[in-house]
């Protein structure tokens, strides 16, 4: 699952991409939003609205912060560069890294989620097709009851 995530492929079958290929990206939405699901195995990539928020906040920003800290420590304590140069070389690559790594953080989150909480309800190794959940019907609006 993790190897598939690093290759930005479906975590179950590993054959279809999670995202629009980089050479076909036409907007930021194409870059950041995963496809609906895998056409080969039927695995739905996004479970619900906001499903990937934890991937952005924990994985993407977390790894970005750790990378920035490592760069800072190496440049400040090992290379002994002036502080203005250390901060410049540390801060400038972070937004670029976070934009590039956003796809990988979502793929890793999807693989972690599948590994720790399989969404399959069968006992035969997970070969059952998973369809996206149907929207729940809205309850009818009830009028308030008058006390008089």
Q: What is the pLDDT of residues 52-69, one digit of tens each?
A: 888 988 999 999 999 999
In angstroms, the Cα distances linking 5 to 8, 120, 130 are 5, 19, 19
* pLDDT (mean) for 15-42: 89
pLDDT reported for residue 128: 41
Distance from the Cα of residue 129 to its chain's centroid: 22
pLDDT reported for residue 140: 56
The whole-chain average pLDDT of the chain stands at 83
User: Angle at CA 147, nearest 5°, toward 143 and 148?
Assistant: 115
Which 8-state DSSP code applies to residue 23?
A: G
Q: What is the CB neighbour count within 10 angstroms for residue 139?
A: 6
pLDDT reported for residue 47: 80
Q: pLDDT class for 75, splitting at 50, 70, 90?
A: very high
73 or 122, higher pLDDT? 73
Crossing angle, helix 93-116 and helix 83-91, to 10 degrees? 50
pLDDT reported for residue 45: 87
Find the DSSP H helices in 60-92.
Answer: 61-73, 83-91
State pLDDT tens for residues 106-143: 999 999 998 988 865 444 444 445 454 455 555 555 56
Q: CA–CA separation, 1 vs 117, rounded Å?
A: 13
């Amino acid at each position: 699952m993790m190897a598939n995530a690093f290759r930005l492929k479906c975590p179950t079958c590993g054959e279809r991409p999670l995202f629009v290929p980089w050479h076909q990206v036409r907007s930021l939405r194409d870059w950041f939003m995963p496809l609906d699901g895998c056409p080969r195995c039927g695995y739905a990539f996004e479970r619900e609205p906001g499903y990937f928020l934890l991937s952005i906040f924990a994985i993407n920003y977390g790894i970005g912060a750790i990378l920035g800290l490592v760069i800072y420590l190496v440049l400040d304590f090992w290379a002994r560069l002036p502080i203005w140069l250390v901060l410049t070389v540390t801060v400038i690559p972070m937004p670029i890294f976070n934009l590039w790594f956003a796809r990988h953080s979502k793929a890793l989150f999807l693989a972690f989620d599948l590994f720790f909480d399989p969404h399959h309800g069968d006992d035969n190794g997970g070969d059952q097709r998973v369809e996206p959940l149907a929207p729940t019907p809205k309850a009818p609006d009830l009028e308030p009851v008058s006390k008089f």
